Amino acid sequence: MLMGIFDFVGMRWVLWEGKLPPRRLLRDVFRFIRGGLAAPEVQVTAAKRRRD
C-alpha cells in the first residue's frame, strides 16, 4: 500500500502534469510512509509492556 501511494504521487505529477512534485508534497509523503513503516514497532513495544 505504501509503495502504491508513492507510485500514484509520481504518476500524478510526472506523467499527468509533466513536472516534478513540489518539495513540500514529497516531504509529507515521505513522512507519511516513514510513519506507516514505524507503526508496527510502536505497537510491539506497547504489547511487550503489557506483558511485563
* DSSP assignment string, 18-37: SSPPPHHHHHHHHHHHHHHH
Residue 11 CA, chain-centre distance (Å), reads: 16
| 12-36 per-position pLDDT tens digit | 988 999 998 899 998 988 888 777 7
Q: What's this model's pTM, rounded to 2 decimal places?
A: 0.54
What's residue 24's pLDDT? 94
Domain locations along the chain: 2-51
Cα–Cα distances (Å) from 19 to 7, 10, 23, 43, in that order, read 15, 10, 12, 38
Q: How confident is the model at residue 42 (pLDDT cuts 50, 70, 90)?
A: low
